[in-house]
Chains A and B, each alone.
Chain A
């Protein structure tokens, strides 16, 4: 700790950080632009000036940039000194010279850092009387709107896009007062994290193009804390709603998870919520008449009565859960049908992989790091995962981890790590070890030390060997090629040398033995006394939660149905056609007399259902997800109940009330569901401390979802009634759907928006943190459920798979994920679907030559008796004999990969 004097008053601060973060941590307001808590200081904007004094006798002092000056013991500064205040006002005056002053029509207005800093710095009168400069804007694709005239040249965007994310299709151009940030020409920003520009840019140059289509000011949004439903990482988000539709997603700072940044799927994937293929009313379909017109929207009571009838007549009922539904919904379903009749709605391989991951994390000695901890790892091995496409935000963290090792160079030169430009200049392009084993090129290859392109079985085999090279107690792969063995030795050495090695793997390769191999590597390291981390990606937002609850796989469910003991299927938020081959799903659905589906989008499964309950999306749901780290997190609905849409768990509670009126396990609401969950599963104990119960009140008040400036509440529904309606109830959370309520900073799990007096933009997060870049006040939300076992006995996996080898006339088909398109829900949004690939089959260039196929020419192949006719897409990085199929892209749903494919000759060429 160091004592620093701010306007002559002593304060204790963390030694060595810069004065700006020290002062902000202490609660002082110093304006800034180019500094960013995650991207640190470069000293460009000159906004954060303070006056520094040599000692107590120095009265003149000199102006320094607080972001570029270390806070060391005895540092004396003044924030309030007249001289420096004049300078700060001057800097704003400079920045406003050319600013268009178009706040009324600017999307940033009302949450603009430039507005805030202008007020904070005290610049009031315009003295500049000459012409403003102007620029042309670019079309940057479906996500980001560009308005260069508003630019204040803080260089944050280019530093974020290039330095932090590794994006290369964006830059700064020009010199002197004509500086331009953008691309060479119009075109979609390629980087998967481009959406953060919206929050990184302190003014309205880069704004959310999806928001623009249904624009609402920040203060008019009804907002709630949420968790991203689009992958297994569980990034924290803020959902903003108005007039019954989701308007945008913002990052919700969580020190341990997503920090300041989201991926573009998470930010722009919400559009499906407002889409036209939402189920809006309960449906009963006449089972005797399968024609389309028999979709009968009905009332809630009617559908529940119908369900009671089914229940009475049914000879056996099965519940199929969902890895994208909340714990609470899954558990309710499990209670409805009974544990023995509850099945995970995951495919056979997927449920095997998930339960293996859980087994490894629970019984083994290795820690599953949070995304923040990933950033601290200094050597990484990725086994079989295309992280950017399967767990995007993790890729951004890995981009920071490769910088760890090279930071030592900066440390040696005594460059503070927050002096970003100096660090990058000293370090240049030197990077710490990152090894990527995957069947095809990945977006992280540019920072990889070495990459190896092999199929999943070979990846597993190689991983086993790396583990063996680290610790000879781990089994050896006897017949590995010598060059691979050498590489394994190199990787083993690099991991052993690291102070925090990390192994990344997951379900992306669809191969259980890859998961085993990753465990072996991490265990071998930990056996050698290293502090290793093991990160498994999982496919969906609650895969791990569902896995922890346990239940049979889809195949087991199908077997049960086939055994004729069951005739009714209750399917929770699940499209079976994505989980199993269409033929199989169809036969099962035919076999069942009654299919009941609770879901929010019209899926193929819903088309076949007899009864459909319209449930809420993540934006209309309160509940909990468990992310891939094993962290359970609470999300709250941002939208009040509309029409006949209920949260899944509430539908199920209604059903329970109807069909089991005298059930003893009283599930009444989310609180009682959570209690029941913890009673039944000790691992879910932390669920009760996850967030305040629905009864929680802050000084007797609820936490308002509407801002204190919310406008139009008397006129919003004037077309229906001129009387202001009573705000909708929310009995399930301490949040209210109104602007009345507790005005202060709520408990961290209930932070519904970042705002503080004088800080209308997201930069106000600094007022919610216990220190800059640190945890939120009161600790970050979310609770880890799984910690490594210390005492347990565990054994290395020894079932080393055989090499796949080559087959004559057959190709090994592997899954290829796409950040835009592979995920089930986001792909229905307009802007995401614009970025999604069309169906294709990826083949290596050698195979393309062999088959005499050019890019785009149709290839016919048979997998699992299914004939596919797809345009060829030549992927140079694929090894021979391997083909890649895009996951989740329209007609490729439900194919289990990896699988062997036969390529059939095209008769028509």
Chain B
């Protein structure tokens, strides 16, 4: 069940929207902020709340890479895999994280702590290679730094 708090937040966004549709993404973001991802059940409730069908909401939700329709861990590691980071060797960083956490892109650690995802160029090319964890940007990475960063989320 969507909490009243979430509902009122969605309603708030809805008020500045000329159509129900245009509240979809904000509503999904709102739910995602507190639940981490969008379950089928939540999708249905959001659709109901916005007078839309599940197909209408999911058609939008599945287009965007930052709406998660599958469970994610408590911390989301976004690894920039775009060109500047590639030149600067992000693959080393990625390999390290993969081995360290035992997960690949799209997977979540068994303890539900981390989910690993690729991300479009983070706009931090001058700090390449860069990653983002829960909205916090980390640049100029090397293996030592990444180890320290991962540890700080444990």
Contacts and interface: CB of A to CB of B under 8 A. Distances in A.
Q: So, do A and B actually touch in the complex, CB under 8 Å?
A: yes
- Which bracket fits the contact residues of B? 10 to 19
Those 3 A-B pairs whose CB atoms lie nearest each other, nearest first? A171-B59, A171-B55, A173-B62
A611 B19 CA distance: 64
Interface of A: 168-175, 180, 183-185, 428-429
Contact of A174 (B19, B43, B63): B63
B56 A168 contact: yes
Q: Which of A168, A171, A184 has the most CB of B within 10 A?
A: A184
Given A173-B59, A183-B55, A184-B43, 13 more contacts: A168-B52, A168-B53, A169-B53, A171-B56, A171-B58, A173-B62, A173-B63, A174-B62, A174-B63, A175-B62, A180-B62, A184-B40, A185-B40
Interface string B64-106: 1100000000000000000000000000000000000000000
Interface in B31-74: 40, 43, 52-56, 58-59, 62-65
A174 B62 CA distance: 5
Interface of B: 19, 40, 43, 52-56, 58-59, 62-65
Contacts of A172: 59
Q: Which of B43, B55, B62, B65 has the most CB of A within 10 A?
A: B55
Contacts of A183: 55
B62 A429 contact: no
A184 B63 contact: no
Contacts of A171: 55-56, 58-59
A632 B54 CA distance: 44
Nearest to B18: A428
B43 to A, nearest CB: 8
Contacts of B53: 168-169
A522 B103 CA distance: 71
Nearest to B53: A168
Contact of A170 (B19, B55, B62, B63): B55
A429 B59 contact: no
A214 B66 CA distance: 46
Contacts of A185: 40
Nearest to A178: B62
Contacts of A174: 62-63
Q: Which of A169, A170, A171 has the most CB of B within 10 A?
A: A171
B58 A173 contact: yes
Contacts of A170: 55
Contact of B63 (A168, A169, A175, A428): A175
A174 B64 CA distance: 8
B28 to A, nearest CB: 14
Q: Which of A173, A183, A185 has the most CB of B within 10 A?
A: A173
B55 A168 contact: yes
A161 to B, nearest CB: 10
A428 to B, nearest CB: 8
B30 to A, nearest CB: 20
A649 to B, nearest CB: 48
B58 to A, nearest CB: 5
A777 to B, nearest CB: 40
Contacts of A169: 53, 55
Contacts of B59: 171-173
Contacts of B62: 173-175, 180
14 contacts: A168-B52, A168-B53, A169-B55, A171-B56, A171-B59, A173-B58, A173-B59, A173-B63, A174-B63, A175-B62, A175-B64, A183-B55, A185-B40, A428-B19
A174 B65 CA distance: 9
Q: Which of B19, B43, B52, B58 has the most CB of A within 10 A?
A: B58
B63 to A, nearest CB: 5
Given A168-B53, A169-B53, A184 B58 contact: yes
A842 to B, nearest CB: 24
Contact of B55 (A175, A184, A428, A429): A184
Nearest to A172: B59
Contacts of A168: 52-53, 55-56
A183 B53 CA distance: 10
Contacts of B56: 168, 171
